[in-house]
Amino acid sequence: GQSLEQPSEVTAVEGAIVQINCTYQTSGFYGLSWYQQHDGGAPTFLSYNALDGLEETGRFSSFLSRSDSYGYLLLQELQMKDSASYFCAVRGGSNYQLIWGAGTKLIIKP
Amino acid sequence: GAVVSQHPSRVICKSGTSVKIECRSLDFQATTMFWYRQFPKQSLMLMATSNEGSKATYEQGVEKDKFLINHASLTLSTLTVTSAHPEDSSFYICSAFSGRAGENIQYFGAGTRLSVL
């Protein structure tokens, strides 16, 4: 089967750093994406890793290790507006579709 | 950047009526669009893959006669929820993969919140 595992909830303090892990087991792999979704809104794209290593985009970084079927999203200098659900998704399968994790709810405390 | 437009954003309808949701890619051609459904506090569930000029590919358990998908052009896909019932109330989101060289981003519409009374 195909599955992605990520923690259901993470709590952090404003200004801190938080890492959200994602492990995957899929048939076919073209890349690992991260999306942010605020309550009531649609997902918005954060990052995409097709190759091993770290991709940095401002306060957000994403890492991929294909040999370990593992990746993470790193959020630095946390702000209250970063409170949202974060989904990892693997582009794979027979249809080149996105296979989604269950999402991690990030709770940020002042 | 690439934008996907979804309309309407919210629908309230009576049980038994049909509801059409439109999804447009605004500045790129989308040969493939995806329709998702999301229940509160849950992940996105892929319902079907819409292919321009051909029949949609439905995921297991999704009734194709209930959720009609039409992808008549490279920029427009529609999802029609036929004879909607309260259990169809959900958040429906469309998405399109731009497919541009070097870009692997799937863009999402703003979603449609359907409430069936």
Q: Do A91 and B105 touch (CB under 8 A)?
A: no
Chain A interface residues (partner B, CB cutoff 8 A): 30-31, 33, 35, 40-45, 48, 50, 87, 91, 95-98, 100-103
Distance, in Å, from the CA atom of B111 to the CA atom of B97, rounded to the nearest integer, reads 16
Q: Could you give the CA distance from residue A19 to residue B99 in angstroms, rounded to a whole number?
A: 29
Distance (Å) of CA B30 to CA A53, A89, B51, B72, B74 = 30, 20, 9, 11, 5
pLDDT at A94: 66
CA closest to A84 among chain B residues: B41
Query: Rounded CA gap, A26 and A96, in Å?
Result: 11
* B56 DSSP 8-state letter: P
- Can you tell me the mean pLDDT for A13-27? 95
pLDDT band at B97 (very low <50, low <70, confident <90, very high): confident
Mean pLDDT of A101-109: 95
pLDDT tens, residue by residue, B71-90: 888 899 999 999 999 999 99
Q: Is B89 exposed, middle or buried (0-12, 13-18, 19+ CB in 10 A)?
A: middle
3-state secondary structure of B83: coil
Q: How many CB atoms lie within 10 A of CB B55?
A: 12
User: Which of B108, B114, B115 should one mutate to test binding to chain A, selecting the residue with the greatest count of A CBs within 10 A?
Assistant: B108
| Placement of tokens 């195909």 in the chain | A2
| pLDDT value of residue A21 | 98
Question: For A100, which of B6, B44, B111 is closest by C-beta distance?
Answer: B44
Helix (H) or strand (E) holding B91: strand B90-97
Mind telling me how many Å the CA of B97 is from chain A's nearest CA?
A: 9
For A47-93, the pLDDT digits (tens) are: 999 999 999 989 999 999 999 999 999 999 999 999 999 999 998 76
Report pLDDT for B88. 95
Distance from the Cα of A2 to chain B's closest Cα (Å) equals: 13
The confidence score (pLDDT) of residue A27 equals 82
Query: Buried b vs exposed e over A67-85: b needs ≥16 C-beta within 10 Å?
Result: eebebbbbbeebeeebbbb
**HSE-up of residue A36 (Cα within 13 Å, Cβ side):** 14
CB contact under 8 A, B43 and A42: no
Q: What is the pLDDT of residues B32-73, one digit of tens each?
A: 899 999 988 888 999 999 888 888 999 999 999 999 999 888
